[in-house]
């Protein structure tokens, strides 16, 4: 991810620069380049960065796009508009995979808020990237487009959702104890008739086998409930 560069061409609103920096940092990206920004540095950028001021502090400003991507092995141009002549077209997900497969610096290039990338800027890049959107309204805010691409890069890098913190897992002996307790309750309540040939025992084993990993506390809760129900039944 440290080889990924985001380039904002001619951004007109500094607030979008700050929001883009925040979107990048949240996805583990830090290399921000600005090409001929209308107003920068600006307080509005830092107001919108919210915790990503370090990304803004390290951002580099360039006079032209070719200067910002000169040392990159590939550049991916973002545009919602179809072009009659354009570089190879990819969706954002495929572009993220392609970018990470290159063992060299690569850039994702975003155009100005009002008009997007010029044809000259587009042809300075090797790929045209579309973010799938509604055909009735396909225009995303600059920072939103940055967020989508940054997210796709994070996912493509192999970063997943951190697993939920689990308690101590139930052992086979714990689960077999639960099955025995279920059978005891089923027989005592008349739900399971002895020697009936019922497949109930197999069915609850199949039911619990669909749970990836039962925790010991969860098994104990179920057994506590069964114990209370049996005690209430014997008291009646």
* Domains, the chain, ordered by start: 4-156 (3.40.1280.10), 172-235 (1.10.8.590)
Q: Supply the DSSP symbol for 195.
A: T
Query: Of 87 and 116, which is predicted with more confidence?
Result: 116
Mean pLDDT computed over every residue of the chain:
92
Nearest-angstrom CA–CA distance, 76 and 126 = 6
Rounded CA separation 24/6 (Å): 8
Whether pLDDT at 33 is above 90? yes
pLDDT of residue 84: 64
| pLDDT at residue 163 greater than cutoff 70 | no
Q: Which of 16, 10, 25, 11 is nearest to 45 (CA)?
A: 16
**Mean of pLDDT values over 231-235:** 83
Residue 162: pLDDT band with limits 50, 70, 90: low
Query: What is the Cα–Cα distance from 234 to 216, expressed in whole angstroms?
Result: 27
Q: Using pLDDT thresholds of 50, 70 and 90, give the confidence band for residue 85.
A: low
Token couple for 203: 């069915």
* Mean pLDDT, rounded, for 91-120: 94
pLDDT at position 88 is 83
For residue 36, is pLDDT > 70? yes
Cα–Cα–Cα angle for 210, 211, 213, rounded to 5 degrees: 135
**pLDDT higher than 90, residue 115:** no
Mean pLDDT calculated for residue range 135-143:
89
pLDDT of residue 112: 94
- How big, in percent rounded to 5, are the helix, strand and coil portions of the chain? 45, 15, 40
pLDDT > 90 in the chain, percent: 76
Q: Confidence band (pLDDT; 50, 70, 90) for 161? A: low
Q: Which of 4-18, 71-85, 122-136, 176-190 has the highest mean pLDDT?
A: 4-18
């Amino acid at each position: 991810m440290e080889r990924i560069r985001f380039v904002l061409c001619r951004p007109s609103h500094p607030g979008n620069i700050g929001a883009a920096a925040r979107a990048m940092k949240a996805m583990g990206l830090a290399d921000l380049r600005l090409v001929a920004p209308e107003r920068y540095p600006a307080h509005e950028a830092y107001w919108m960065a919210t915790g990503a001021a370090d990304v803004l502090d390290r951002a580099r400003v360039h006079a032209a796009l070719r200067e910002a991507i000169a040392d990159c092995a590939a550049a991916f141009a973002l545009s919602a508009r179809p072009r009659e002549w354009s570089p190879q077209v990819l969706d954002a997900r495929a572009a993220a995979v392609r970018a990470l497969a290159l063992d060299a610096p690569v850039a994702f290039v975003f155009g100005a808020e009002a008009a997007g990338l010029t044809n000259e800027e587009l042809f300075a890049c090797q790929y045209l990237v579309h973010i799938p959107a509604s055909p009735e309204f396909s225009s995303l805010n600059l920072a939103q487009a940055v967020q989508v691409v940054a997210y796709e890069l994070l996912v493509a890098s192999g970063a997943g959702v951190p697993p939920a913190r689990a308690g101590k897992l139930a052992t086979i002996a714990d689960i077999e104890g639960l099955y025995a307790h279920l059978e005891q309750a089923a027989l005592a309540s008349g739900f399971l008739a002895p020697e009936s040939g019922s497949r109930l025992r197999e069915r609850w084993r199949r039911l619990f086998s669909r749970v990836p990993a039962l925790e010991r506390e969860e098994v104990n809760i179920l057994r506590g409930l069964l114990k209370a129900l049996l005690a209430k039944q014997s008291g009646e």
